[in-house]
Amino acid sequence: MATVYELGRPHPLDAPSVSDTPRPPLVKVITSHEFSQLPDISQEGRSGLAALEPAEMNFVELYPSFLIGSFAVPDKSDPTGDPDCLSFYLDASCLIFIDDGNVTADLLKKVATSGILTKATTSHCLYALMKSLIADDFTWFSVMEDSMEALEEAMLDHSEEVTSQTIMGYRRAAMKMGSYYQQIAVMADLIADNENKVMSREEARAFEHVSTHASHLANRAETLREYSLQLRELHQTQIDLKQNSTMQILTIVTVMFAPLTLVTGWFGMNLTVLPGLDWPYMAATIITLALIMIVAMVLFFKKKNWL
């Protein structure tokens, strides 16, 4: 069932209207099926919204007497997952949100408690909703940056195991959010141009603030994306250092056992006559020489700081 708010009332978004004949300007929240049954929507508007529903993107389209658009709001707990989607239809007397879930209701509650809505117009209500979509996102980015810095410290201190998937998760989140803010900025710019004169000039200019804010957030997302690339390079560098250390140890062990390998090869030859085989101290001499060579190599490696 449609939820209707009368913008002419004090605190209009605190509670839906209970009037049988609500007075415009109105904000309505309805399902896609209910929207298809509305009699006063042009076929052009219906077709445009039908094309936007499966797109999962932030987009706006201007028509001579109205505008339509859609929002695809990422879940900040998992920005790489499926976004929350809704569409809208706006003219001078009515702002209709088409939502088959509870996304719009939650956003309107946020607008009501934030105090952003100060004018009883449909255009200003859309502005307030768009502003609330990105109002607290700088704080979210700060938390994300703190997590990335903690990850960097963990890699430098070797205090915990860091995987490539964790780093790539930050990169994908920054890319997804950056794309979201860029789309919001483009939407706000198109509405601010007000080519179809659906709203007053003052109301249209308010959307420039949304565009500026979204652009700053997009730049912030790009900064964190670049930071994630630096973390990935640091992680790869540490992997390379571990591999080099392992190869160094294997090389040292191989070199240390080279004298024994030489002795084994020499005296393991299938020869009937070999100088020194009949000497009673030969075995002890060979073992002593091998040990001396091993000790000498160990001292040499320690001097080079290879051990």
Sheet order of strands, 59-62 included: 3-6, 26-30, 94-98, 84-90, 67-73, 59-62
Structural domain boundaries, residue 235: 3-239
Contact at 8 Å (CB) between 214 and 182? Answer: yes
E-state strands within 63-144: 67-73, 84-90, 94-98
pLDDT band (50, 70, 90) for residue 297 = confident
101 vs 222, more confident = 222
**Are both 131 and 274 inside the same structural domain?**
no
**Are both 287 and 249 inside the same structural domain?**
yes
Write down the pTM of the prediction.
Answer: 0.79
Lowest mean pLDDT among 100-114, 221-235, 262-276: 262-276
Average pLDDT in the chain: 85
Q: Give the pLDDT confidence score for residue 270 in this predicted structure.
A: 67
The average pLDDT across 61-69 equals 89
**Are both 229 and 248 inside the same structural domain?**
no
**Are both 147 and 256 inside the same structural domain?**
no
**Are both 78 and 209 inside the same structural domain?**
yes
**Are both 41 and 134 inside the same structural domain?**
yes
Instruction: Read off the pLDDT of residues 27-44 as tens digits, 9 standing for 90 and up.
Output: 999 888 888 777 777 777
Q: Give the pLDDT confidence score for residue 41 in this predicted structure.
A: 76
**Are both 29 and 170 inside the same structural domain?**
yes
Lowest mean pLDDT among 19-33, 83-97, 228-242, 261-275: 261-275
Domain count of the fold of the chain:
2
Instruction: Read off the pLDDT of residues 254-274 as tens digits, 9 standing for 90 and up.
Output: 776 777 676 777 666 666 666
Q: Give the pLDDT confidence score for residue 39 in this predicted structure.
A: 75
Q: Give the DSSP H/E element, type plus range, for residue 59.
A: strand 59-62
Instruction: Read off the pLDDT of residues 123-137 as tens digits, 9 standing for 90 and up.
Output: 999 999 999 999 889
Q: Give the pLDDT confidence score for residue 46 in this predicted structure.
A: 73
**Are both 140 and 268 inside the same structural domain?**
no
**Are both 203 and 96 inside the same structural domain?**
yes
C-alpha 307/C-alpha 297 separation (Å) is 11
C-alpha 302/C-alpha 172 separation (Å) is 45
**Are both 139 and 120 inside the same structural domain?**
yes
Lowest mean pLDDT among 18-27, 109-118, 234-243: 234-243
In this predicted structure, the answer to whether residue 243 has a pLDDT above a threshold of 90 is no
**Are both 224 and 257 inside the same structural domain?**
no
The residue to which tokens 């198109």 are assigned: 190
CATH code assigned at 249: 1.20.58.340
- Cα torsion 190, 50, 90, 136 to 10°: value is -60
